[in-house]
Structure 1
């Protein structure tokens, strides 16, 4: 088999790896009669040839676009015929080579289609499941580019400077030269690949395995104390010395948590579900399942949203199979559940239309920090942020309040709530900006200057019983029976049940006047289960800004800026804020844009930034732009979307750049389409 973009070292036979990747390539091509060169919509370049077999087929003509449904059908047919024996090239009892994963990274980075990437990952995972299942957890974690779940507080603790020093030491290079190459290329992984490949070795080191790499990453994360940075760098150097071909490139990217292969976590979960079906040895799909692949992917994603911990889910999948996964892997206090989210509504009439003939409740939408509070049977408490990070050390007063105000009959619970800055003397809610001034960690009770009130609106688990599948009215009963209210410390979300437009509008005004953002509207009985990780139509949010502008705010990452000219206060910045954020971003300036930034040649910013911050931005309107590249192709094939009269709402310290708004996510794609259709009408 010959594919110039999948050149494999002798440690990874070409035939083995090509069969793993070939179906993904075939699913994007069709055979025609006359042989010509292929170059469209793909990074592969296949030269004219009378015979160029890719996975046993002959590519004979240029690509022809086919519908997603047709692609999926072809994918399923080819995947069913995938032969693990032809893909595996390591011996029985041997660990999965790191090169196997690296070449998959390489292949994915050259793909843009989700279906093709899903198949590559699926075939990888099938190979591991059927030959080396003990390595499946490590492979999945590397694909997800994480060594532990966010709530476990286990991080590599490495900055670019430390990584560059380790790279320089491993390659016998000057660290200043490494820094210059990084500045020139904008990708430290490419610098590592070039530097490592030019370094001669006295002897060939033992080939890296997935287990070795993953175990070393965990060692790096666990190093602590006075000499920890030196030890971390030594671990990195040991990996780099043993690395060959493209391995240094992806080792460095994994260490930076900037894998850049276009693999979203939902795609990984889908591929894991598919691989489990093909490798299923435990039982057949339930009789009512028409499409096992889709159902398995749905199960894996649902379970992961309840227990987002691979080292619990992967072993359960291997031992009990995918069809039993909801039973063998259930939520428990101490492991954060992915939060349910709401969709935006532009007014009360829209809410009444969507909830027609359904009983629903209206709750105050508090302007604070979303929190999930876990109380364990041993009396310990953990608090998790909206992105599942442990926040317990930030809120010792919240720990004390829930411990004091839970009723004696409650031995364990998982509570969904909002933590809001509160003035107990004046008995009023304070703005979010006040809450943001609290220290981020290691807070002590006698040092607290900003008090918070817990506004509880849902309970997901109580006394050993999972409540996710219960209706909201039932969950509310559990909530009200479980806690004692105390003003300024612990209160239930203010709510009414009504479908009277005037009453709802008056309630909305009361919410805004009280210092809240607006209202949350939720179905009470029909379609009223708690849906982790989903932005559901059964929860709608109505804010004052939504009634004035585009409906929802956007979480954006600043990547460039122009030097200001005169006073600029109309975009949400005061003069003080301008100076504050300018100072903040000065340390993030980079000499040139990252290779993966998309922008028009007609735009020439004065400075470019490392993507580090997330800004919540509101706008009066969305408009088609021939210059900006955001959401390009959704409305017009060669035009993007820009914001009209944007203004900064706040900096989202609870979000990482990877969690920013994206046209790839269902919710934001819908937002763009719906609003553009609304404007057109």
Structure 2
């Protein structure tokens, strides 16, 4: 029998739930000693946790319900406890003894759902514990009839409840029972949304802590926001500021507080480019400005700068300086095209912006770049302009590529044009100021009114708009800095604008200009019954001298003194010798000032004024005082600011008196303009001859007293007239024209340009309109020098903004960059040229008769050339035309 026991232990097979009990009973009948299975097989607890009950299929005929299972357990326990034991041997009963189950087993039984059908279901395997054991596993004492049950732990109770809730089927109560049943508490497991939180009683509100009150307020705000319907935005591609009855919020393509998309600005510029009517252009741009003012006021300044294609005020001299070749290289590297291919495309299209847009539209990227915004584009352009030093070109190209890759739709066109410095959409600065004034009038900044035109007649609202536009233009003339004007407009409105943006040293003004006249009789026609004065017109460079006051007060700050040109460019480094002798100019009672002067080349030995060509030989920037050979004498003729007070609204008579009282004269260095108050034609004639003998161009005739004697900033006003010495030659004034084309010379002029196509500038449409062909007034040396200078401006095809007749097509087309001064016998109507077309005649332009070259104007840009309106006025001012027409001309105009 011992061998049987040994065999059983070696096999390590325990197949039944009551394996340990049967084994001990078998050993008792055979009389063999009990063998402990602890060391031979594994620990009893390990066996208990490892084996599961798997009753024989023959015994499990029908699964008992959960309710009867507990009763069966009690009967088995009673049978086992009451079974007779004789001679220490347990009597074998017909039923198998049932073991007590642990708490986990009970939970498993309760988890099983109650069977609702007669079908058999699989019985899950249960964990058991042995009721009998050896010395290592002591035998369990006989259970009492009512054995005490240990209370279940809280954790097991929670688990049991949750499992029962999940496994129990849903029961639907009748409506009557619903009324009787109390409200169930919400499930603590579920999170209650703060937006649907229940209202608290007043007592609870009083007991709230400050943090709870803040949270409660936030919940209320979020609840209100959730209730308000969020309207869908207009797609950026469909943004249309030209829409009738435009709404600044509903028709915008961005939300309040979000950055203005660059595509919205590009869409606005695209509509402006397709529009020729100036009033419609102002209306389109003002609608865009209205949306920016209401939704994102911080982006109004970047939008204004991008519309004007400027990066900063003119006196900061922040320019991009990107050549067309570098732009082609950047576009080619992004689109896989070569520079020659792009040049051919530009020659066909005539615009690099259009070529870049078409190339970008056919390109697809795997990971699109973030969309551009107006502020990010302006910041990137400023970064490009400030890049200097070694390898700056490569850095600029990489920066341009990052912008170009992010472009969508028409953004590429206007980005490349901005980088070129030639937006060319027919949008002048005066139109931008007018649009800004119209937007501020219709949608006042900082208010709740979105459309101030409601409730007003068209005439009443037009008067309000005109007032706003005039105020903004006047303020900008006195303070030409958008970084001061735009924030002041947004914060103070129109009423506080003039108080915050005033003339001050350091911010140059746009100077007042004069209208030309060719006859002495015109002077007395203009200044009839008015007092006027005549000054010598010096042949030099306009200079605006600024001397600020010390921050601590008490005197002028000469270290921050600056000189600006008529274009508001900073020429301080060009005239270090002039600034070095400021102490001899200012008297002790001067703390700050702004002077309007003329810098003229001067022969100190012979005490004689030199021609302008001599002055142009001076170095333009970073000049060293020791290397200067051409001396300069500064002639003072007006005082605009003195000791913290602007003087532009005072008459010239008072300004001239203050100028003579507060500033010294030093011969050859600082001199006041020679002037005379004339009252007759003979006095003017005599004074003109003196000016010509003094190496001057002629006379400046100015209103001395009265309502027309103030300083008209940024205006070409009839309150100032210029009378040149060559007025008897036919044309009362020379013209500043732009060279747009050249013709190859023949015969003696072979190898150089022999003729040129000249044009005037039309600011309203930003066009260059052909004026005449010129081939006289040049020496052989002039042609050689001019040909070399113009070679760097050669382009392959005429620009789209060149207006000319095809029969005058040039052999070589030039970029509009060089300005020449020319003189002619008179002006006449021409069907072959386009200058001022539509102003005098609907189908004919104006041309110059017998034009001849005078000089190159390096001090003027192409945009500052003689405008089409000025040419029309000069044509109408001719005697033969005046006698045959009564056409009226504009007296004053902003330039």
| Shared fold per TM-score greater than 0.5 | yes
Greater alpha carbon shift after TM alignment, 498-507 vs 416-425: 498-507
- Structure 2 partner of 1:582: 787
Distance 1:371 1:444, change over 3 A: same
SS state at 1:624 partner = strand
Q: 1 CA distance for matches of 2:617 and 2:514?
A: 27
- For residues 612-654 of structure 1, what are the alpha-carbon distances to aligned partners after superposition, in whole Å with 9 as ceiling and x for unaligned? 1111222110011111111112222211111011122222212
- Is the CA contact (8 Å cut-off) linking 1:170 and 1:238 kept in structure 2? no
- Is the CA contact (8 Å cut-off) linking 2:293 and 2:445 kept in structure 1? no
- Structure 2 partner of 1:460: 640
Give the one of 407, 418, 423 matched to 2:603: 423
- Structure 2 partner of 1:209: 373
Give the one of 406, 421, 428 matched to 2:586: 406
Give the one of 735, 739, 759 matched to 1:554: 735
Unaligned runs of 5+ in 2: 1-232, 454-459, 550-556, 755-773, 886-895
Give the one of 118, 141, 146 matched to 2:310: 146
Give the one of 530, 534, 539 matched to 1:358: 530
CA shift at 1:669, angstroms? 3.5
- Structure 1 partner of 2:261: 97
Distance 1:290 1:22, change over 3 A: closer
Q: 2 CA distance for matches of 1:282 and 1:474?
A: 41
CA shift at 1:237, angstroms? 0.8
Distance 1:271 1:570, change over 3 A: closer
SS state at 2:798 partner = coil
Q: 1 CA distance for matches of 2:248 and 2:462?
A: 25
- Is the CA contact (8 Å cut-off) linking 2:330 and 2:398 kept in structure 1? yes
Q: 2 CA distance for matches of 1:332 and 1:89?
A: 40
CA shift at 1:204, angstroms? 2.0
Distance 1:124 1:243, change over 3 A: same
- Is the CA contact (8 Å cut-off) linking 2:840 and 2:872 kept in structure 1? no
- Structure 2 partner of 1:307: 479
Q: 2 CA distance for matches of 1:352 and 1:606?
A: 47
CA shift at 1:301, angstroms? 1.0
Asked which structure has the greater CA Rg, the reply is 2
Is 1:618 the counterpart of 2:823 in the alignment? yes
Is 1:677 the counterpart of 2:875 in the alignment? no
- Structure 1 partner of 2:382: 218
Question: Aligned runs of 1:371-450 on 2, under 5 Å?
Answer: 371-377=543-549, 378-379=557-558, 380-450=560-630
Q: TM-score, normalised by structure 1?
A: 0.86
Q: 2 CA distance for matches of 1:289 and 1:102?
A: 29
CA shift at 1:570, angstroms? 7.6
Q: 2 CA distance for matches of 1:244 and 1:13?
A: 9
Greater alpha carbon shift after TM alignment, 296-305 vs 227-236: 227-236
- For residues 329-349 of structure 1, what are the alpha-carbon distances to aligned partners after superposition, in whole Å with 9 as ceiling and x for unaligned? 111111101100011122222
- Structure 2 partner of 1:322: 494
CA shift at 1:281, angstroms? 5.0
Q: 2 CA distance for matches of 1:335 and 1:136?
A: 21
Is 1:12 the counterpart of 2:264 in the alignment? no
- Is the CA contact (8 Å cut-off) linking 2:836 and 2:846 kept in structure 1? yes
- Is the CA contact (8 Å cut-off) linking 2:576 and 2:624 kept in structure 1? yes
SS state at 1:441 partner = coil
- Count residues in correspondence: 609
Distance 1:196 1:106, change over 3 A: same
SS state at 1:559 partner = strand
CA shift at 1:429, angstroms? 0.5
Q: 2 CA distance for matches of 1:422 and 1:243?
A: 54
- For residues 397-447 of structure 1, what are the alpha-carbon distances to aligned partners after superposition, in whole Å with 9 as ceiling and x for unaligned? 111233432112211111101001110100010111111111111111111
- Structure 1 partner of 2:700: 520
- Structure 2 partner of 1:538: 719
Q: 2 CA distance for matches of 1:475 and 1:321?
A: 31
Greater alpha carbon shift after TM alignment, 416-425 vs 548-557: 548-557
SS state at 2:846 partner = strand
CA shift at 1:354, angstroms? 1.2
- Is the CA contact (8 Å cut-off) linking 1:296 and 1:323 kept in structure 2? no
Q: 2 CA distance for matches of 1:364 and 1:592?
A: 44
Greater alpha carbon shift after TM alignment, 425-434 vs 180-189: 180-189
CA shift at 1:225, angstroms? 2.1
Q: 2 CA distance for matches of 1:11 and 1:548?
A: 62
- Structure 2 partner of 1:243: 407
Q: 1 CA distance for matches of 2:433 and 2:427?
A: 10
Distance 1:185 1:524, change over 3 A: same
- Structure 2 partner of 1:194: 358
Is 1:349 the counterpart of 2:521 in the alignment? yes
Q: 2 CA distance for matches of 1:89 and 1:250?
A: 19
- Is the CA contact (8 Å cut-off) linking 1:289 and 1:295 kept in structure 2? no
CA shift at 1:13, angstroms? 5.2
Q: 2 CA distance for matches of 1:395 and 1:535?
A: 27
- Is the CA contact (8 Å cut-off) linking 2:255 and 2:295 kept in structure 1? no
CA shift at 1:501, angstroms? 1.6
SS state at 1:87 partner = coil
CA shift at 1:278, angstroms? 1.1
Larger relative contact order (CA 8 Å, sep ≥ 6):
1
- Is the CA contact (8 Å cut-off) linking 2:234 and 2:252 kept in structure 1? no
Q: 2 CA distance for matches of 1:509 and 1:238?
A: 62
- For residues 186-231 of structure 1, what are the alpha-carbon distances to aligned partners after superposition, in whole Å with 9 as ceiling and x for unaligned? 2110111111112220112211111111111111112222232222
SS state at 2:581 partner = helix
- Structure 2 partner of 1:22: 243
Q: 2 CA distance for matches of 1:281 and 1:10?
A: 23
Q: 1 CA distance for matches of 2:883 and 2:605?
A: 47
Q: 1 CA distance for matches of 2:842 and 2:641?
A: 47
Distance 1:11 1:212, change over 3 A: farther
Distance 1:679 1:586, change over 3 A: farther
Q: TM-score, normalised by structure 2?
A: 0.66
- Is the CA contact (8 Å cut-off) linking 1:172 and 1:199 kept in structure 2? no
Distance 1:253 1:679, change over 3 A: farther
